Every structure is written in structure tokens, then in C-alpha cells.
Amino acid sequence: GADGVPVAHVAEALREFCAEPRTAFDVLPTMFRRVPRGFHRLLAIGEAVAHLNYLCAEGILVRLVDASGVARFVVSRPGSVAG
């Protein structure tokens, strides 16, 4: 998983953290023990988007896009936060 964090733990942490709408940048501290800098931050955001899109495909999260084009991810059902 990201930075040595098990993938299942990342998915559960993202479900909990996305109880409120979050951007891919917002979730970086949830996925990584240390938020990467420079080019590695770009790679980390790509990994975050991949995890968030996977959770959307599973029906756990939904993607909301505002008028300025910023995508945020939030739990699709209140019951899915607990599992």
C-alpha cells in the first residue's frame, strides 16, 4: 500500500475521512505517513485519485464536481462509513 500502509487500511481510512466531501489532495495525510513533496506529491495525488475512483466504482463513495471543476469525494450512504 501507500508508504507501507496496508491497502485495506487505506480503504477503511478513506471511507471514514470522506464522511465530509474531500479532494484528492485532502486525503493525502490519510494515505501517507508523510505527505510527499515535489514530483512525488504529484504521484501521490495520482494514487489517491486511483483509490478514490475505486471506492466510487464499488459504490462506497460518490464524486461531486463543483462549478469550478473541483472534484470532491464523499460517502454515498451513511451506513457505508461503518462498513
| 74 contacts 20 by C-beta, under 8 angstroms | yes
SS (H, E, C) the chain: CHHHCCHHHHHHHHHHHCCCCECCCCCHHHHCCCCCCCHHHHHHHHHHHHHHHHHHHCCCEEEEECCCCCEEEEECCHHHCCC
| Closest-CA residue to 61 (of 24, 36, 34, 35) | 24
The pLDDT confidence band at residue 21, using thresholds 50, 70 and 90, is: very high
Look at residue 48 in the predicted model and tell me its pLDDT.
95
| pLDDT of amino acid 80 | 45
Q: Model confidence over 37-81: pLDDT tens digits? A: 999 999 999 999 999 999 999 999 999 999 999 999 999 975 544
